[in-house]
Amino acid sequence: MSVDPLHVPDVTEPYQPRSGRRGTGFLTEPLRLGGTPSATVGPYLAIGLTWADGIWAAEEGTPGGVWIRGRVFDGAEQLVPDAMIETWQADPDGGFPSPEDPRGAASYPGFRGYARAATVEPPGEFGFFTLKPGRVPDGEGGLQAPHLDVSLFARGLLDRVVARIYFADEAEANAEDVVLRSLPDDAARQTLIATPTEDGYHLDFYLQGDRETVFFAV
């Protein structure tokens, strides 16, 4: 079968300029720029990411403050001594010190909402001082259980991994929490629930293995 190179079918559709909308020349889709790819913090993160006040999500001595401590384990159940954990959370009244909160930025005395702690001293352990968060709306007519959003960074992780910290002494709220309820089973939920200690709470993170922490895609 031969093709006649000069046989061009008649155009039946009007010419579409790049907008896809005839004649306007304007973009009809929002502009999208390619996102910058993530990379590992590497072994030397302490140079760039150490803050003297990193562990104080609430100022030292703030009444009602708690220490949240824990460890990070790798797939061989070895302590990870060069990880960094960051947390972000609501204040005890459920407000966020952020202008991005559509309810308005909250301001709670001595409270920053953000902590950054390395697992350096003692090796593999992190600890930060904060206030237990209040409950915040879940957007579906209910309230979320008190929780912190967590980012974990380390050599050997090419992107951060994201988890949450919940509290074992909030069983009733936890049972209603939309995120915990979305998890497949109780074993999965337990990987996110911190247990009470003398001065606060404790939760270990497992990067791999039978007890691998439930991590989230945000």
Partner 1 sequence: MTGTPSASGLHLPQYLREAAELRTPVGYADYKSTGLRAPLRTPVDLPHRLTEVTGPVLGGDRVRPEDADLTLRNGGEAVGQRILVYGRVLDSGGRPVPDALVEVWQANAGGRYRHVVDTFPAPLDPHFDGLGRVMTDSLGRYEFMTIKPGAYPWGNHHNAWRPAHIHFSLFGQAFPQRLVTQMYFPDDPLFGQDPIFNAIPAAARHRAISRYDLERTQDNWALAFEWNIVLRGREQTPFETEDDGDVA
Q: Which residue number, 42 or 137, has a Cβ lying nearer to Fe ion? A: 42
59-88 in b/e burial notation, b at 16+ Cβ within 10 A?
Answer: eeebeebbebbbbbbbeeeebbbbbbbbbb
- Tell me, by CB under 8 A, how many residues bind partner 1: 75
On whether the CB atoms of residues 89 and 130 are closer than 8 A, the answer is yes
Question: How far apart (Å, rounded) are the C-alpha atoms in residues 120 and 191?
Answer: 22
- Tell me, by CB under 5 A, how many residues bind Fe ion: 1
Among 56, 69, 85, 89, binds partner 1 (CB under 8 A): 89
Minimum distance of Fe ion from residue 155's CB (angstroms): 10
Using alpha carbons, select from 35, 37, 44, 36 the residue that is nearest to residue 154: 44
Question: Is residue 82 helix, strand or coil?
Answer: coil
Residue 42 sits in the site that holds Fe ion (CB under 5 A): yes
Residue span binding Fe ion (CB under 5 A) among the ranges 42-50, 54-62, 135-143, 157-165:
42-50
Residues of this chain, 24-83, that bind partner 1 according to CB under 8 A: 30-49, 51, 74-76, 78, 80, 82
Among 159, 187, 195, 196, binds partner 1 (CB under 8 A): 159
* 3-state secondary structure labels for all residues of 161-186: EEEEEEEHHHHHHHHHCHHHHCCCCH
Residue 90 sits in the site that holds partner 1 (CB under 8 A): yes
Q: Which residue number, 159 or 199, has a Cβ lying nearer to Fe ion? A: 159
